[in-house]
Amino acid sequence: MALKSWQDAWFIFFRDIRRDWLYLIFTVLFMIYTGIMLGSMIHSRIEAQFILNPMVDMLMMMLSPMIGFYFTRRSLSYLKEDSHSQMLMYYRSLPIPTEIVVMSRYVQMGTAIIVNGIVLYGAMYVLPFGLDDMNFSNYLVFVLTWIGFAMMINTIYIHFELLSNGRVYMMMTLLIMVCTIILALIITVFDGNAVMYSIECSQRYGFASPLMWGSLILGFIMIGTFGKKTKYRLAQRSFVK
């Protein structure tokens, strides 16, 4: 039964990808651009520390979680058409079990993190003014640290995406962004920098980095806990307006 559920989840995922394959090209281009921008800002941070300290953290915390999804017609029209709710109503009418719907969304997140992560962090590493001064193994630790962070944030996004209408989802997305800005400012006030600290941990400890393991473990814990909670609440969700 579990294997059949995962097969159905992958079927839904591939169906969505085939419909929106042109948007995947835009996703890749956006990730390359983001990688160049973040890499150059981290490189320049040393020369303008006071100004760029909070900016680097803000951008990294806001943009790195974007590796967890693809741009699609549905994701770009959720506010105007409440496309996520329409999708869920369609799946319920077939009917497709709630568990499969949630699993397919996590399949999308997992594949997006792999594909977009390779593009984004690859651009940051190989292009000029990036992080090519780090050796590859330490850089991989840095990447895994921020992938753990992306997993945490994306589980929250998925939770509200499947349980809210487009307007509420937008408000929660903006709230998360505001919280990351506040967090970056607090870190700066205490003379810290999350990005530079993650680089230092990666270089000092390598694959024994406690920051990397803590980030990944917390990310998987959130996927497990939020996944169960989302599945339960989605089964109870009413689409009657």
The pTM is what? 0.90
Q: How far apart are CA 197 and CA 214, in angstroms?
A: 14
CB atoms within 10 A of CB 156: 16
pLDDT tens, residue order, the chain (241 aa): 566 788 888 888 888 888 877 778 888 898 988 888 888 877 775 555 545 567 888 889 988 999 998 887 777 677 677 777 788 888 888 878 889 999 999 999 999 999 999 999 998 888 765 666 788 899 999 999 999 999 999 999 999 989 888 788 889 989 998 998 899 889 888 888 899 899 999 999 999 999 999 999 999 999 999 999 999 998 888 776 5
CB atoms within 10 A of CB 198: 21
Q: How far apart are CA 134 and CA 87, in angstroms?
A: 44
- Between CA 64 and CA 236, with CA 177 as vertex, the angle to 5 degrees is 95
The position carrying tokens 């473990």 is 217
Q: Helices H, strands E: what count in the chain?
A: 11, 0
> Which DSSP string corresponds to 8-37?
HHHHHHHHHHHHTHHHHHHHHHHHHHHHHH
3-state SS class at 133: coil
